[in-house]
Structure 1
Amino acid sequence: MKRLGVSIYPEKSMMEEDKQYLKMAKAYGFDRVFTCLLSASKSKEELMREFTEIITFAKALHMEVILDVSPAVFDKLSISYDDLGFFHELGADGIRLDLGFDGLKEAKMTNNPYGLKIELNMSNDVDYLSNILTHQGNKDYIIGCHNFYPQKYTGLPYDFFIECSKRFKKYGIRTAAFITSSVGQIGPWDINDGLCTLEQHRNLPINIQAKHLWATGLIDDIIIGNAYASEAELRILGELNRDILELEIELEPDASELEVNIALNETHIRRGDITEYMIRSVDVRKKYADHSVEEKQSVSQTTGDIFIGNNHFGKYKGELQVVLKDMPEDKRKNKIAKVVADEHFLIEYIKPWSAFKLVNVK
C-alpha cells in the first residue's frame, strides 16, 4: 500500500501547532511522520522530553514515526550503535541513517531487539544496500528514503534518482521520497527553498509532484519535507488515486454529456500494440457502440489533446485518444479536452496496457 507522510521539526516549532498539524494530516489519510535530530542542539534530557511527547501523540493517531539521525547525533548523545534503546524509549518506529557507516554497523542495527526499522539513505548510486545485506542485515527491518534538498538547484536529477531507486526496488525494499509544500517555511536548516528530492519538483504543484513519484513505480511512500503544508495541499494529496495515474484535463466548452461521460467516468486502458502518435483507449468504443457521437468542427491534433471518434469513424466511434505527437485535423474525431500543461510530462508514464483515468481540473 502506498502511503503519505508529513514532517515536523520540534526544535523549530511549537508543540501544539505540531499536534494540530498531525491531527489534520491524519484526517486526510496520512500515515507516517518524518522528524529530525540532525539539527538538535538541546540536551539529551530535553530532547527526550520533547520528542517523547510529540511521538506519543503521533502514535496515538496510528502514525509511523521515523527519526533522522547521523553519526554526529550518536556521538553528541553518547548513543552506542549496538544499543538503540534511546530511540525505542522515545517511541520511534525506526531511525533514518542520513549518512552511512561501513555496512556491518547497519547490518547489526537491523537485528536490534526493539524491532526498530532502519531506514537507509537512497540518494547515492552506490552498492550500499548490497553491502549491508552481505553482512547479513535483516531485510525485514530495512526501508529506504531519499534525501531532500533545501537549496534550490541542488535536488537530484531525474535519471540519477531512477538509478538510485532501482537499487532498492530490486530487493523489494519499501521506498520513500520527499515532495515540497509551496507554503511550508519550517525545515531542519536556515535555508528553505523547498524540501523536495527531485529538483524538477521544486516549483510544481504538490499533487503533480506526488503523481510523478508514484508514476515511476519506484516509490511507495511520499513525504512532505517542509512544514506546515496547507490544509488544501493535504486535502488534494489525500484525494489522489494511489494506484492509477489520473491526468487532470480541461474540457472543451462544447463537449457533450456523452463525451464527458466517456472521458471522466471510465477507467481507460492503453492498447498494448502501441503507436507513437497517440494513446488509444479502445474498450470504451465497445461499451458505447450504440450511442451517437455527433460530428463537430475538426481541428488539428496537438500533443496533450484528447479526442473521441464520432459517427463518421465506423468501428472506431467512441474510441478515446490522447495525442502524443502533433497530427493534422481529422473530421472523424471530436476534440473534447486537453491535458493541463503541467501534467503533459506525466503522459509518458502511461505504458502499454496501463490503466489511467481522466479528471476534470478543479
Structure 2
Amino acid sequence: MTNNPFNIQIEENSSMVDHPEKRIQTIQEKGDLKNYVTCHNFFPRNDTGLSFEDTVKFAKLYADYGIQNGVFIASLSSPNDLNASGNGVCTVEEHRYTPAHVAFSELRNTNLFDYILFGDSVPNQEELEAVARAASLDYVEIPVWLNHSLRPDLRSLVTETKLLSRPDQPETTLRATQTRGPRKIKPELAIHRPQYAITLDNELSNRYEGELQIILRDLPPTPVANVIGQVKPYGKRLVEQVKYRSLFFKLKEE
C-alpha cells in the first residue's frame, strides 16, 4: 500500500504492530517508507494507557528509520465524549490527569514526536493557549510553588533567569549556577529538604551564594541553603529531563 503512485500516506498504530522493526524493514524492501507514518493510539478508558517509557521506546524505533510519529495528550476540561466514565483521552496513562501543556512539554523534550495532538474533542481556550506557549519556547517551564515570604528580588531572580543544570550531575541535587552572586541572602528556612524542594544558597555558602538547587532525594537541613519552594507533583519528569545540561529551563509559578 505504501508503494502507491499517488503518495498517499499510510498510517499505522505505533504500538500495535507485533514485530515493528521487521515490518519497517519489509516496507523498506518492498514498499516506500516516505508514504508510511505512524501514530500512537489514544485510550478513552481509564487505566489502559501506555507507560511513558514504552511510548518513547516505540517512537525512537520509528524515528531511527526517519518515520514520522504522532501521539495524543488529554484535555482536563473537555466533555468525556468518547467515554462517559473516563477521564481524558491520551496515549500515556500518566497524562490522563496532567495539565496539557506539561504533557506536551514532556513529549516534545524527547525530540521523537512529529505531531502531538489532543485526543479529547473540545480542549478549552486556556489549554490551547498554554500548549501553544509551550511550543513557542526555547526552554522548559517547570511548574513550582514558591514561598510567600521570598524576597521580591529573589523571586524575580529565580523565575526570570534562564537556567541550565551542570553537566557533572550530582547524585542528590540538580544544580543551576546562573543565579550565583553576592545577594545578601540571610539564612532563612534552612530546614529539611524533601525531594523536589527548591533551595537557594545563602551567604553562609560563601562563593556559592545564590546557587539554585532542586533536590532529587530527601536530604537533611544544611545551614547554607534556604528552602524557597517546591516543584509541583506533575513537574517531576520535567526536572529529570533537564538534568545533565540537557535543556534550558525556567521556574514558573502556576
The answer, yes or no, to whether TM exceeds 0.5 is yes
1:250 matched to 2:145? The reply is yes
Report the CA distance shift for 1:186/1:118 in structure 2 as closer, same or farther (over 3 A).
farther
Residue matched to 1:282 = 177
Distance 1:350 1:136, change over 3 A: same
Q: State which of 256, 261, 264 in structure 1 corresponds to 2:159.
A: 264
The answer on 1:209 being equivalent to 2:65 is no
RMSD over aligned Cα, in angstroms?
Answer: 2.3
The answer on whether the counterparts of 1:282 and 1:319 sit within 8 Å (CA) in structure 2 is yes
1:142-181 superposed matches below 5 A = 142-181=36-75
User: In 1, distance between residues paired with 2:139 and 2:66?
Assistant: 20
Q: Could you tell me which residue of structure 2 aligns to residue 93 of structure 1?
A: none
Other-structure match for 2:133? 239
Partner of 1:297: 189
Paired position in structure 1 for 2:205: 313
**AA matched with 1:224:** F
- Quote the residue 1:183 is aligned against: 77
Partner letter of residue 49 of structure 2?
A: G
Of 321-330 and 240-249, more deviation after overlay is shown by: 240-249
- Note the 1:55-94 alignment, pairs <5 A: none
Query: How many angstroms apart in 2 are the aligned matches of 1:308 and 1:118?
Result: 52
Q: Partner residue of 1:89? A: none
SS in structure 2 of the partner of residue 222 of structure 1: strand
Conserved in 2, the CA contact under 8 Å of 1:174 and 1:220? Answer: yes
Deviates more, 1:211-220 or 1:222-231: 211-220
Deviation of 1:299 (Å): 0.8
Q: Is 2:127 the counterpart of 1:229?
A: no
CA 1:357/1:335 → structure 2, altered by over 3 Å: closer, same or farther?
A: same
**Count of aligned pairs between the two proteins:** 249
Query: Aligned partners of 2:83, 2:172: CA distance in 1, in Å?
Result: 47
Q: Which amino acid aligns with 2:130?
A: I
Q: Distance in 1 between matches of 2:95 and 2:182?
A: 44
Is the CA contact 2:173–2:217 (under 8 Å) kept in the aligned structure 1?
yes
Write the deviation string for residues 155-189 of structure 1: whole angstroms up to 9, x where unpaired.
Answer: 123332222111111123332100111232375x5
Distance 1:220 1:243 in 2: 17
Deviation at 1:138, TM superposition (A): 4.1
Extract unaligned runs of 5+ from structure 1.
1-104
Q: Distance in 1 between matches of 2:194 and 2:111?
A: 28
For residue 249 of structure 1, give the secondary structure of its aligned residue in structure 2: strand
Partners of 2:166 and 2:174 within 8 A in 1: yes
2:221 pairs, out of 329, 343, 346, with 329
Deviation at 1:129, TM superposition (A): 2.5
Q: Distance in 2 between matches of 1:155 and 1:297?
A: 41
- By how many angstroms is 1:352 displaced? 0.6
By relative contact order (CA 8 Å, sep 6+), the higher-ranking structure is 2
CA distance in 2, matches of 1:177, 1:320: 34
Q: Which amino acid aligns with 1:341?
A: P
TM-score (norm 2): 0.87
Q: Write the letter of the residue equivalent to 1:353.
A: R
CA contact (8 A) 1:269 1:355 kept: yes
Query: Structure 1 residues 136, 309: closer, same or farther in 2, change over 3 A?
Result: same
CA–CA separation in structure 2 for the residues paired with 1:331 and 1:238:
41
Counterpart of 1:195, as a letter, is V
Question: How far did 1:190 drift?
Answer: 6.1
Residue 136 of structure 1: how far off its partner (Å): 4.2
Shift of 1:317: 1.0
Residue deviations 1:315-350 (CA, integer Å, cap 9, x gap)? 111111011011111111122221112222332212
Contact 2:202/2:225 (8 A) holds in 1? yes
Between 1:121-130 and 1:324-333, the stretch displaced more is 121-130
Decide whether the 8 Å contact of 2:71 with 2:117 is kept in 1.
yes
**Could you give the per-residue CA deviations for residues 270-292 of structure 1, whole angstroms, max 9, x where no partner exists?**
1111111000012332xxx2433
Q: Distance in 1 between matches of 2:212 and 2:89?
A: 38
* Greater gyration radius: 1
